[in-house]
Structure 1
Amino acid sequence: MEIGQPSPARVRPGGPGPLLLRTEREHRTGLGAVSVLKARGTVDADNAGRLSAALAAHLADAERAGEHPLLDLTEAHLACAAALRALAAPTGALARAGRALHVVQPRPHVRETLAEAGLPGIRAHADLTTALRALDSGETPPTEPGTVPTAPRPTHR
């Protein structure tokens, strides 16, 4: 599923990329269903609300379907504080329940931004393999300063 299409006015050479969101679902042996929300482009004040709404819907859909939700920020750029608030709002309930959203984001600026923000509902991983391994083991040791350990999520197999 692709949410949002870039407007011709927003696409300009050398400028920030438009925000595109896509959900991919797959089944992993031993782990079960995994749902990955992939964000591509720049998250800024203009589109942060759209990311927040899409992430909230992604988490709710994954919960209803018994899937493990992941957020892939590999191709995303967090441009402002609104981008962090877009992540903090939907993951707050996870943090209060002692869980966290596994986020894949190897770009250094994203890792640094998330570490400085110390969002307890976010668990950062360098790549998809590491995130899936953490889900499969049922343990998610803190990978960034300021994060809290998470309880294993019940699996639906």
Structure 2
Amino acid sequence: MESRSLTDSGQPPPARVRPGGPAPLLLQTVHEHRPGLGAISVLKARGTVDDSNARQFAEALAEHVGHAGQAAEHPLLDLTEVYFACAAAVRCLERATGPLARAGRALAVVQPRPHVREALSNAGLPGVRVHATLVSALHALHAPRQPHPAHPPADRETAGAEPGDPT
């Protein structure tokens, strides 16, 4: 049996309404060079991550993180247009970011929707850092690297944009 959340009007939230089922998962990698930062690689995901495509998501994410490491790029994951529909999606992130966590690093995850942000927060993944905006994620990459605690405290970014960030 599928559990669905409903709005106050009793209708499914707009992100879930799609004739024919959940939105297909689309993945695209964008490579850029940013002055003062160097090379970055952004994996942009769009659609729904569910049991039918969680493996595809995991493989693409692991490949993205691995390639970025070999190419000396800063990996980022843009979840602006993603809906997690199962626990497998969070496990995918955990597996793909495990090597980063063991190296004292983390994958910058940009603009997850509130329910995705909550799932990531509840999971307490040490290899994931959630940022409200791409600007804040890039700003964090400029900061000196420090080992990340196993369960990072909630920061202002997870609640919204930092002062001065365009929204």
CA separation in 2, counterparts of 1:50 and 1:106? 19
1:79 aligns with 2:81: no
Partner in structure 2 of residue 146 of structure 1: 151
Take 1:125 and 1:140, find their aligned partners in 2: how far apart are those partners?
17
Could you state the TM-score of these two structures normalised by the residue count of structure 1? 0.80
Alignment of 1:11-50 (within 5 A): 13=19, 15-50=21-56
Q: Which amino acid aligns with 1:34?
A: I
Structure 1 residue 58 and structure 2 residue 55: aligned?
no
Q: Which has the larger radius of gyration?
A: 2
Which residue identity lines up with residue 147 of structure 1 in the other structure?
P
Distance in 2 (alpha carbons) for counterparts of 1:89 and 1:27: 27
Deviation by residue 1:115-136 (Cα, 9 ceiling, x = unmatched): 0111111000001000000001
SS of 2:151's partner is coil
**Runs of at least 5 residues in structure 2 that lack an aligned partner in the other structure:** 1-17, 154-167
Q: Deviation of residue 14 (structure 1)?
A: 7.0
CA distance, structure 2, for counterparts of residue 136 and residue 17 of structure 1: 35
- Tell me: CA distance 1:106–1:140, structure 2 relative to 1, closer, same or farther (3 Å): farther
Aligned-residue offset at 1:141: 9.5
**Residue 99 in 1 paired to residue 86 in 2?**
no
CA RMSD between the two structures: 2.0
Query: Residue 127 of structure 2 aligns with which residue?
Result: 121
For this pair of structures, how many residues does the alignment match? 135
Unaligned runs of 5+ in 1: 1-11, 149-157
Tell me how far 1:137 sits from its aligned partner: 1.8
In the TM superposition, residue 24 of structure 1 has moved relative to its aligned partner by 0.4
Once residues 59 and 130 of structure 1 are traced to their aligned partners in structure 2, the CA distance between those partners, rounded to angstroms, is 20
SS of the aligned residue for 1:39 comes to strand
Cα shift at 1:107:
1.4
1:112 alignment partner, SS class: helix
The structure with higher relative contact order (CA 8 Å, sep 6+) is 1
Aligned counterparts of 1:125 and 1:14: Cα–Cα separation in 2: 32
Give the 3-state SS of the residue equivalent to 2:41 in structure 1: strand
In the alignment, what sits opposite 1:111? Answer: 117
